[in-house]
Chains A and B, each alone.
Chain A
């Protein structure tokens, strides 16, 4: 079953605007990761945030994590046409919760379209 659930499923914005995508999950996690997938390509890792972290930045990306609400958000500021892609969150379960090995569980993604 899917652990991460992204919201919205699709998002269309104008170039220069900010894009916010949300992810909810169900079980205790060790870390949460965001990936981008361009059409016809593999997934590219963007950012990893651990369960004891609340916010992380990387260039125009900002990720927040709220473990009490079991949710995360990815903010892309000043979007560009090249940001058009699908974005996935993926969780690694807390091994001490009995949820199993350090494998990623992916959501179904948010399809972002940035219009020039």
Chain B
């Protein structure tokens, strides 16, 4: 079975540029999560979709961050404009049901210079 697929695996860009991270959840999973992981703050939930609808975006740091889920098999997380403090590993995860475990992708390591 294919797991959660994230792209790109690594992204290095200059501050001010737009960054788009992509995620393909596991087929049949109806919830999708975007997380950010840093040494200082650990793993933070940014936004959570259920059946393609954003349920909780209270973790999105500021208006520079936006996320979409146009269909059940694709989601994007966009940062515009990017800043050096956005440097982190960004994970996408999906799950089949409300009380089921989450399955994580291998993450996108983002470096903003």
Contact = CB atoms under 8 A, between A and B. Distances in A.
A106 B104 contact: no
B99 A30 contact: yes
Nearest to B42: A108
B42 A103 contact: no
B45 A101 contact: no
A31 B98 CA distance: 11
B25 interface: no
Interface stretch (A11-19, A41-49, A60-68, A75-83): A41-49
Nearest to B92: A42
Nearest to B103: A45
- Describe A's contact surface by its main secondary structure: strand
B99 to A, nearest CB: 6
Most chain B beta-carbon neighbours within 10 Å: one of A2, A41, A104: A104
Contacts, number: 51
Contacts of B56: 100-101, 103
Nearest to A30: B99
A101 B42 CA distance: 21
Most chain B beta-carbon neighbours within 10 Å: one of A31, A102, A105: A102
A42 B99 contact: no
B104 A104 contact: no
Contact of B101 (A40, A45, A108): A45
Interface in B18-70: 31, 33, 42-43, 45, 48, 50, 55-56
A35 B101 CA distance: 9
Interface string B94-107: 00001111111111
A34 B76 CA distance: 27
Contacts of A107: 42
A24 interface: no
Given A35-B104, A43-B91, 8 more contacts: A30-B99, A40-B106, A42-B91, A48-B101, A101-B55, A102-B31, A102-B99, A106-B43
Interface of B: 4, 31, 33, 42-43, 45, 48, 50, 55-56, 91, 93, 98-107
